[in-house]
Structure 1
Amino acid sequence: MRVVESGVTPELASGTSSKTASRKSRRRQKKPGPMTPPVQRLFDTCQEVFAHGGAASGAGAGAVPPPEDVARLKSILDDMTGADVGLTRNMPYFRNISSQRAPPITYLHVYECDHFSIGIFCLPPSGVIPLHNHPGMTVFSKLLFGSMHIKSYDWADVPQNPIVQHREARLAKLKTNAVFTAPCETSILYPADGGNMHCFTAMTSCAVLDVLGPPYSDNEGRHCTYYNDFSYASFPGDAALVTGEGEGYAWLEERERPDDVLVVGAKYRGPRIVEH
């Protein structure tokens, strides 16, 4: 097996006799082995769900894992906290050092392969991850600690003209618009439902662990697209698309990646993952 994240291997101190070392070794062997860290169990399950199972079944972008596999991953993530990945609220990642601009967001890269990725977003208070999509992906988002406002949409399943008042806007249905506080259940979104387009706003310092299957890939057409959202009443000419006043609907317009969004990478220093 190969160690993905390097670690320090404990060694016997110099001068220890072989007899003493042997006795210590025997004592160690009598003790039950340590429990598998949650992040390792998460990784192992992701391999089975996305990599091994996906390869065997021909799954890829747009393919959703079976419900029992979704439940397996969710059950692991539901119990995870910041401590399971080596994070505490007092780390520098969660400090808002300037009130004059949007605070930087730190991304901790845990693991990525062609089939899935695991990473953690660390947001200071008022940190924002703008509205964006996850094309062809199944995504698990677990709030490890803190409070966060989540707003999410799915594309509305109605006939529509994509050009509205000279704007390229598409009708979407609101899925979530609420504040979540840890501990809470894992959010799951799918390629076509569950809130595939979402926006995160940190109410307090918070950390979100994301599992993406498969991950973004420009080469395979899975680009991250950002959106502006406008109220349904913004384009009255298409008011007949849905009944009522259009409550729960909005128009999403593609935009360039916002200039004021700063995401910086940092080394993941939590429990190491061992790839078998």
Structure 2
Amino acid sequence: MGITTAVADRKGKECRELSRDNSVKTNGKSRKGRRRQKRMLPIQRLYDTCKEVFAESGTNIIPSPENVERLKVVLDGIKPGDLGLTADMPYFRSSVTQRYPAITYLHLCECDKFSMGIFCLPPSGVISLHDHPGMTVFSKLLLGTMHIKSYDWAVNDPNTSAANSSPTVPPGVRLAKVKVDSNFTAPCNTSILYPSEGGNMHCFTAVTACAVLDVLGPPYSDPDGRHCNYYCDYPFSRFSVAGVSVPEEERDKYAWLEEGEKPTELAVEGAHYEGPMFKER
């Protein structure tokens, strides 16, 4: 009995010491993990989050609400300095020789699931009205003040069927409803648009020099039918359609959109991204 008790006591002591050692090691690893996570660059965190959020990405496939919020939180926390951007960079200067200021696109990455890039607009720079068919888009204004005007097709509006079948409306012209028509100044929260709502068709106009970080999931792809379409917008009063009636005070909430060619004044130039790097893993 005495020997059994002694062995049991010794084994218990050894187990307690082993447990204590493992606890120290585990806590050490945990602390190291937290330190690594804390040291992770925001751009790396963004890339890693995009890779997970868009793992099942495809045309008209929207991430879960939880994943949408998860990516939004990461984007909300990104600052210009996290991407090596400063307001005095040449991308943000207007040229007196250019009637339409050129826009610079800094490519970050693109795969078949998502893409990331930064648009740099000098004052009065315009990204013409365009769409993102089948995509979920996260836009984060990083610098400056930008006017955003966006539309959704008025597909559920009782006036839509009458408008789209009217002989007075030219082919290719559809009724749309304004989603956003406002100025935004950084820092502000990330905006999100979905394949059929949230302002899938939008136009950016730089009030001051500004930069916007765009994340698309999935990216544009002509073979998959995800090509960029451009539009001209006309006031609701442009066409008179029998059976279509909108109260006077709401007419500024509707517009006619006509699909067309890429505007000749839209000039986007690619440039090398020189900010903090990340590993595509």
Query: Where on the TM-score scale, by shorter chain, does this alignment land: which range?
Result: 0.7 to 0.9
- Quote the Cα distance in structure 2 between the aligned partners of 1:206 and 1:198: 16
* SS of equivalent to 1:216: coil
Residue 266 of structure 2: which of 261, 264, 274 is its match? Answer: 261
Alpha-carbon offset, residue 261 of structure 1: 1.1
Amino acid at match of 1:96: S
Alpha-carbon offset, residue 166 of structure 1: 3.1
Aligned partner of 2:21 in structure 1 is none
* SS of equivalent to 2:140: strand
- Quote the Cα distance in structure 2 between the aligned partners of 1:99 and 1:209: 27
Structure with greater helix percent? 2
- Quote the Cα distance in structure 2 between the aligned partners of 1:99 and 1:142: 30
- Quote the Cα distance in structure 2 between the aligned partners of 1:232 and 1:106: 33
Aligned partner of 2:67 in structure 1 is 69
State the 4+ residue runs in structure 1 displaced beyond 6 angstroms: none
Aligned partner of 1:243 in structure 2 is 246
Aligned partner of 2:152 in structure 1 is 154
* SS of equivalent to 2:179: strand
Query: Based on CA coordinates, which of the two structures has the bigger radius of gyration?
Result: 2
- Quote the Cα distance in structure 2 between the aligned partners of 1:187 and 1:242: 31
Residues 96-111 of structure 1 mapped to structure 2, 5 A cutoff = 96-98=94-96, 100-111=98-109
- Structure 1 residue 211 corresponds to structure 2 residue 211: no
Is contact 2:164–2:175 with CA below 8 Å preserved after alignment?
no
- Quote the Cα distance in structure 2 between the aligned partners of 1:266 and 1:140: 21
- Structure 1 residue 176 corresponds to structure 2 residue 175: no
* SS of equivalent to 2:62: coil
- Quote the Cα distance in structure 2 between the aligned partners of 1:243 and 1:104: 38
Residues 79-158 of structure 1 mapped to structure 2, 5 A cutoff = 79-98=77-96, 100-157=98-155, 158=160
Amino-acid identity (%): 59
Is contact 2:131–2:228 with CA below 8 Å preserved after alignment?
yes
- Structure 1 residue 195 corresponds to structure 2 residue 199: yes
C-alpha RMSD over aligned residues: 1.6
Aligned partner of 2:17 in structure 1 is none
- Quote the Cα distance in structure 2 between the aligned partners of 1:76 and 1:103: 31
Gaps of 5+ in 1: 1-28
With structure 1 as the length reference, what TM-score do the two structures score? Answer: 0.83
Amino acid at match of 1:175: K
With structure 2 as the length reference, what TM-score do the two structures score? Answer: 0.81
Gaps of 5+ in 2: 1-31
